[in-house]
Amino acid sequence: MMKPYLPIPVLLLFVLSLAAGATVGAASPVEPAPREGRAQERFLQLNERVREHAGEIDVLFVGDSITQGWEGAGREVWETFYGDRKAVNIGIGGDRTQHVLWRLENGNIEGLSPKVTVVMIGTNNSGLDRNTTAEMLEGVTAVVERIGEKLPDTKILLLGIFPRSRHFDEQRGKITQVNQALRLLDDGERVHFLDFGHVFLDPDGSIPERLMPDALHLSPEGYRLWAEAMEDELAALLRD
């Protein structure tokens, strides 16, 4: 029986993709894409929330489930730090950069003119079966650029993607590399980069359960660390 084989060009492409860390068939992080199910339901709810607060927002939070979690585990900390700051949260669990790009074009920031937009997105693009580090960088950069175009009067506080996984691994390494490059988006005027992921780590580099019970999503204490680490920069931008 003849052994199955791959044609030379296909085999070469496969080998090169592995060498580059690429994922065959991975969704593009820069092509706006909608979602279905519960994510779509929340998207519609956020459109209504935005309509209700049009013209009244000073601080906008954009992101995935970690940002959405301000409405769950982070609720009390939110009230303490942002309850009187005219803040709105448009995070959706499971979102990748391409989903945020789609939301930005379809009503999630319609009518808003926040003084500061806090952005933290990309962890859901970091899976080893998803996007490369270069693609992740492209995706986050595209989100920042689109917000700048849609909200020309906002200051963008771009946060480094938070660390994940209980211990050091390849996925956390990808995130660290992307954060190093994201720092270069800081222009000191419109875009300000802030990376405080180290506050979620123990001295041995592990992520304690008390801060991230599943080594990804924050506990109430984790949200307090987030708010405290961001406060000086956020307050300075709001005064501007």
pLDDT tens across 13-37, in order? 333 333 344 455 689 999 999 999 9
CA angle at residue 210 from 205 to 214, to 5 degrees?
80
- 192 three-state secondary structure: strand
Say if CB 199 and CB 191 are below 8 A apart: no
| Active-site annotation, residues | 65, 214, 217
Range 92-101 average pLDDT:
98
- What type of residue sits at position 1? M
Percentage, residues of the chain above pLDDT 70: 89
Give domain limits for the chain. Answer: 27-239
The whole-number pLDDT of residue 240 equals 65
The whole-number pLDDT of residue 10 equals 40
Domain range 27-239, CATH class = alpha beta
Instruction: Check pLDDT > 60 for residue 158.
Output: yes
The whole-number pLDDT of residue 99 equals 98
